[in-house]
């Protein structure tokens, strides 16, 4: 890693001093010159040609980081294992000893987790089974009575435990590990991929029984934990090794300002923009997007952070960047924290005209991109070869049956069958290697990039990590160490990695590499997309001021669009209002009847607010009455119990079919014309819990294109200064309506929107 002064040189220097008295003047001068030459730091070089002192300082920072992160990973894993065991042992029934009929004013904000986790689904029935890629059993589960699935953060690719449960909902059989394959479009079903278990009595017991599914958190999985720890070890051991392709990335992320200046002055790295003359860009790009492209195509730039606020076209830009990098002759590794995010990028790249391969467990890959998976491509390539092998095997087995009495001949045929099997395995390995070697872009999850199939490939020219703001830093080093340079894309002002352990969170495990790198070297590593193409400016201006230092601007194509501009929508005061506050607190301070917060009687620890649910339903009906399509409406709440209550209420209204109701956290990355948010909190203590997380509210508000309606108790919400500014913004740029359940504007389909239009 470093060139050090050898023991022989040290002895030579000592000898020179001992012989000082007997040496001639010329010899002494010569010895001193040699001593100076050996001791001068600029000759003793370390990584990238740096002097030894600089290289050692960087290595010390790497050592400190790796040791600290390894300990935090261990702490977090212990918490996840404990949480998983508690969840697996949990019985989803009410706590009979508690009084759930009173508002929970005792539940103050610091007593809550950073978010609610909805990782368990109970009351499921196994409906059917089929065989998926890799011989996995795909089991389709539906909720008993064909009801909708409860609010859940489960998504395709998540690892889960499947068990039969008893009448109380507690697990009654051993855990069958599998992966979520997909969530049904009807909202009533979930398909899980289980390992093939022919004749397994546990598997057969799933049918005709009540089943529950529990998520297994990432680090609770041994392989995921080990791969994160291994990445830290490799970073510590090889980060500054001259053979490490990502050495410039490592030095940039752990070096100080002087180190970066030295690397620039010595042409080790270059942070300047690339001239785009002669480069054909597909589509129209704004100036901030062009700036990101010009920096991303600079092969001397070791790392680029692309911050993409809501609606700025980050994912589309990444697609074009990857295609341009391939045109420049670069091989690209693309990763993301989740299988869903990786599959989304596969879909984007599928029609670009480049050779892409998705690597990962077939059961965790979306069926919509299965044709790009390594398993599917290899199967297709080997189809004719396998058919030929199977034909030869069939002929040999036929011959074997006819000459069983001839031992020597039978032995020879068996040997031929064995050789055919070996030939097939050899061909499979060769095909896998060939497919991956020929791929211009390889895609996998961050931890999936540790797959030996990927690690054995030649190093990549470029690593691109999407949604990097939601990934813990150790996981990002898995792909980064396999490429010469990297691009991290995401938004540190939206949701961060989910950390269960408060100690690990406070220790810094929740700080993503994207967030850390954005603060380094006076922002020289970062570029921000500054034009948004989603929201009415009344909505976007709040996010810009609160989260993005006023830099985020609205495209003229969307800055003034409203619901009334949509086809078939009537001109009403609601459809011409971009921001609406439905306040359950009356002008003289009293709270609307029924609008208190309550603890979920199901024992989940979540909160609900029946009055707010009624107001949400009334506003939904008003939008529908005005001609807004139900599929253009999204209803959000940070609390799982409120989401379930809202779903139940809206399911009773046939006209509301198609409205998406979800937690804020599960809605990141999506959008809708109209977004209604039920805040739930209403108490005398002014406790708002995790509503005070600015990143969560940023996600909630910026899902909307044309209309945001916030349902809340302003007296409680305004106790938080951040939320108070949000309400002031709505009052200034929108409208306020003091709302009571069933009594704020009529009956039937809710409040009458047919009031005089506003200009």
Q: Coil, helix or strand for 234?
A: helix
For residue 322, how many C-alpha atoms fall within 13 Å in the half-sphere facing its CB?
A: 33
The answer on pLDDT for 78 being more than 70 is yes
pLDDT score at 147? 79
What is residue 707's predicted lDDT score, i.e. its pLDDT? 98
Q: Is 80 exceeded by the pLDDT of residue 135?
A: no
* Residue of 44 and 67 predicted with greater confidence: 67
- The answer on pLDDT for 2 being more than 70 is no
195-204, 252-261, 431-440, 518-527, range with the lowest pLDDT: 195-204
For the segment 734-739, the average pLDDT, to the nearest whole number, is 92
Question: 459, exposed or middle or buried, with CB in 10 Å at 0-12, 13-18, 19+?
Answer: middle
Mean pLDDT across 470-498: 96
Task: Give the residue among 453, 408, 411, 397 at the shortest CA–CA distance from 428.
Answer: 453
Which pLDDT belongs to residue 406? 67
Question: What confidence tier does 92 reach under pLDDT thresholds 50, 70, 90?
Answer: low
Can you give the pLDDT at residue 181? Answer: 83
| Most confident range, picked from 51-60, 78-87, 317-326 | 317-326
Averaged pLDDT of the chain: 84
Which tokens belong to 541?
């201006």
Residues in CB range of 74: below 8 A, 6 or more apart:
none
Alpha helices in 439-524 (DSSP H): 452-455, 473-480, 502-507, 513-518
Determine the average pLDDT of the residues in 585-593: 88
DSSP-derived secondary structure for 625-662:
HTT--GGGEEEEES-HHHHHHHHHHHHT-GGGTT-EEE
Alpha helices in 218-313 (DSSP H): 222-238, 247-254, 257-265, 287-296
> Over the stretch 594-619, which tens digit does the pLDDT of each residue have?
999 999 887 778 899 999 999 999 99
For the chain, the C-alpha Rg in angstroms (whole number) is: 31
Task: Tell the burial category of 345 from Cβ atoms under 10 Å away from its Cβ (0-12, 13-18, 19+).
Answer: buried
With 60 as the cut, is the pLDDT of residue 498 above it?
A: yes
Question: What is each CA distance from 428 to 196, 376, 396, 432, in whole angstroms?
Answer: 21, 12, 22, 6
Within 10 Å of residue 178's Cβ, how many Cβ atoms? 24
Residue 111 pLDDT: 37
User: How many CB atoms lie under 10 A from the CB of residue 344?
Assistant: 19
Query: In terms of pLDDT, which residue wins out, 99 or 308?
Result: 308
3-state secondary structure of 453: helix
pLDDT digit string, tens, across residues 402-450: 776 666 777 777 777 777 777 778 888 888 999 999 999 999 999 999 9
**Range name among 145-159, 294-308, 472-486, 540-554 with the lowest pLDDT average:** 145-159
Supply the pLDDT for residue 45.
59
pLDDT of residue 91: 58
Position 415 scores a pLDDT of 78
pLDDT in tens, 156-189: 778 888 888 776 666 667 778 888 888 887 778 8
Select the more confidently predicted residue: 151 or 459. Answer: 459
Backbone angles phi, psi at 155, to 5 degrees: -145, 160
Q: Which of 143-157, 286-300, 482-496 has the lowest mean pLDDT?
A: 143-157
pLDDT for the residue 751: 42
Percent of the chain with pLDDT over 70: 84
Res 325: pLDDT: 96
Least confident of 153-157, 189-193, 752-756: 752-756
What's the pLDDT at 568? 95
Q: What are the φ/ψ torsions at residue 729 (nearest 5 degrees)? A: -65, -45
Dihedral-angle region of residue 473 (phi above 0 means left; psi in -120 to 50 means alpha; beta otherwise): alpha
Q: For residue 465, what are its two tokens?
A: 């990590």
Give the three-class secondary structure for 128: strand
**Res 342 pLDDT > 70:** yes
The percent of residues above 90 in pLDDT, for the chain, comes to: 55
Note the pLDDT of residue 752: 41
Tell me if the pTM is above 0.85: no
Average pLDDT of the segment spanning 558-568? 97
Stated as kind and residue range, the H or E segment containing 336 is strand 332-336
Backbone region of residue 225 per phi and psi (left: phi > 0; alpha: psi in -120 to 50; beta: other values): alpha
The residue ranking higher by pLDDT, 727 or 95, is 727
Residue 545 CB: number of other CB atoms within 10 A? 14
- 158 in Cβ contact with 215 (< 8 Å): yes
């Amino acid at each position: 890693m470093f060139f050090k002064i050898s023991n022989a040189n040290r002895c030579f220097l000592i000898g020179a001093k001992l012989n000082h008295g007997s040496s001639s003047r010329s010899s002494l001068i010569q010895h001193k010159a040699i001593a100076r030459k050996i001791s001068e730091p600029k000759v003793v070089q370390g990584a990238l040609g740096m002097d030894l002192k600089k290289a050692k300082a960087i290595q010390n920072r790497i050592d400190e980081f790796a040791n600290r992160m390894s300990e935090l990973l261990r702490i977090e894993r212990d918490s996840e294992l404990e949480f998983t065991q508690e969840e697996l042992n949990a019985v989803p029934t009410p706590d009979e000893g508690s009084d759930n009929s009173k508002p929970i004013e005792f539940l103050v904000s610091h007593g809550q987790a950073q978010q609610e986790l909805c990782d368990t689904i109970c009351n499921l029935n196994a409906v059917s089974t089929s065989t998926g890629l890799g011989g996995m059993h795909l089991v389709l589960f539906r909720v008993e009575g064909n009801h909708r699935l409860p609010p859940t953060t489960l998504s395709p690719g998540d690892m889960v435990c499947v068990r039969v449960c008893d009448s109380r909902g507690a697990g009654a059989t051993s855990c069958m590990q599998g992966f979520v394959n997909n969530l049904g479009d009807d909202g009533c079903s979930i398909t899980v991929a289980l390992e093939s278990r022919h004749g397994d009595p546990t598997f057969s017991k799933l049918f005709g029984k009540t089943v529950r599914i529990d998520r297994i958190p990432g680090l609770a999985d041994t392989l995921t934990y080990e791969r994160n720890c291994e990445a830290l070890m490799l970073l510590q051991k090889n980060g500054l090794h001259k053979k490490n392709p990502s050495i410039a990335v490592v030095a940039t992320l752990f070096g100080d300002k002087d180190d970066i200046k030295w690397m620039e002055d010595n042409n080790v790295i270059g942070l300047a923009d690339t001239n785009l003359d002669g480069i054909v860009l597909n589509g129209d790009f704004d100036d901030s997007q062009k700036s990101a492209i010009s920096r991303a195509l600079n092969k001397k730039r070791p790392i680029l952070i692309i911050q993409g606020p809501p609606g700025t076209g980050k994912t589309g830009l990444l697609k074009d960047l990857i295609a341009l990098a391939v045109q420049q002759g670069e091989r690209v590794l693309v990763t993301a924290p989740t299988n869903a995010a990786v599959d989304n990028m596969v879909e984007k790249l599928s029609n670009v005209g480049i050779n892409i391969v998705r690597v990962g467990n077939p059961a965790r890959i979306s069926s919509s991109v299965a044709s790009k998976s390594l398993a599917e491509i290899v199967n297709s390539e080997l189809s004719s070869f396998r058919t030929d092998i199977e034909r030869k095997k069939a002929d040999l087995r036929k011959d074997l049956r006819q000459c069983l009495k001839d031992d020597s001949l039978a032995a020879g045929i068996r040997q031929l069958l064995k050789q055919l099997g070996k030939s097939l395995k050899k061909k499979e390995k060769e095909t896998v290697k060939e497919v991956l070697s020929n791929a211009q872009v390889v895609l996998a999850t961050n931890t999936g990039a540790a797959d030996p199939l990927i690690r054995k490939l030649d190093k990549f020219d470029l690593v691109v990590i999407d949604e990097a703001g939601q990934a813990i830093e150790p996981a990002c080093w898995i792909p980064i160490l396999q490429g010469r340079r990297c691009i991290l894309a995401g938004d540190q002002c939206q949701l961060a990695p989910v950390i269960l352990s408060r100690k690990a969170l406070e220790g810094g495990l929740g700080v993503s590499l994207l967030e850390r790198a954005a603060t380094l070297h006076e922002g020289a590593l970062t570029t921000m997309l500054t034009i948004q193409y989603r929201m009415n400016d009344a909505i976007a201006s709040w996010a810009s001021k609160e989260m993005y230092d006023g830099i985020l601007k609205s495209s003229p194509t969307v800055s003034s669009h409203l619901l009334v501009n949509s086809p078939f929508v009537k001109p009403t005061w609601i459809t011409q209002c971009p921001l609406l506050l439905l306040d359950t607190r009356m002008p003289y301070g009293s709270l609307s009847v029924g609008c208190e917060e309550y603890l979920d009687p199901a024992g989940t620890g979540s909160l609900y607010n029946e009055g707010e649910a009624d107001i949400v339903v009334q506003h939904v009906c008003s939008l529908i009455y005005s001609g807004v399509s139900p599929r253009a409406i999204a209803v959000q709440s940070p609390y799982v119990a409120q989401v379930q209550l809202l779903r139940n209420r809206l399911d009773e209204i046939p006209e509301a079919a198609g409205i998406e109701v979800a937690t804020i956290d599960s809605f990141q990355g999506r959008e809708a014309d109209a977004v209604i948010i039920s805040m739930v909190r209403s108490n005398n203590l002014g406790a708002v819990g995790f509503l005070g997380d600015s990143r969560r509210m940023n996600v909630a508000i910026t899902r909307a294109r044309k209309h945001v309606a916030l349902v809340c108790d302003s007296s409680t919400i305004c106790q938080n200064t951040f939320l108070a500014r949000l309400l002031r913004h709505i009052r200034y740029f929108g409208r306020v309506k003091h709302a009571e359940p069933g009594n704020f504007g009529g009956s039937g389909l809710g409040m009458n929107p047919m009031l005089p239009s506003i200009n």
